[in-house]
Amino acid sequence: MEPQKFIASLCYFSVFFAPFLVPIVIYFITDEREVKDHAKAALFSHLLPIILIPLFFVILLPSLHVSEGFALIWIFLSVGVSFLLSAGIVVWNVVKGIRVLGS
């Protein structure tokens, strides 16, 4: 196995142990263009839920003042969407890591 492929896949698999640190460190340490591209993509995918979930809550926060029933539904819906988004990001990172190792 080529070390570049292993390092690039490690950027994606780092979602389980050091999601921000590993891609940033690898990006600045390596000289390989392909590995740098994978490190940027992995970092972006790790940051995506952290950006979108609060944005999701802030955009629809004014709708909570409508009624208590709607607020409760909104809370369950937003938690469900946040969970699905986070789970989707983890699955996407695993798939990308496996593809990089297999290519």
Whether the predicted model's global pTM rises above the 0.85 cut? no
Mean pLDDT, residues 41-64 taken together: 82
Tokens 């909104």 — which residue?
74
Specify the higher pLDDT residue, 55 or 21: 21
Q: How do residues 11-37 score in pLDDT, each as one tens digit?
A: 999 999 988 899 999 999 999 999 999
Q: What does the alpha-carbon distance between residue 56 and residue 83 come to, in Å, rounded to a whole number?
A: 13
pLDDT score recorded for residue 64: 65
Report DSSP state, residue 17: T
Return the number of other C-beta atoms located less than 10 Å from residue 90's C-beta.
Answer: 16
Mean pLDDT, residues 67-85 taken together: 80
Specify the higher pLDDT residue, 103 or 44: 44
**Domain boundaries defined on the chain:** 3-102
Q: Which residues, other chains included, contact 86 with Cβ-Cβ below 8 Å and sequence gap of 6+?
A: 49, 53
Whether the CB-CB separation of 96 and 12 falls below 8 Å is answered with yes
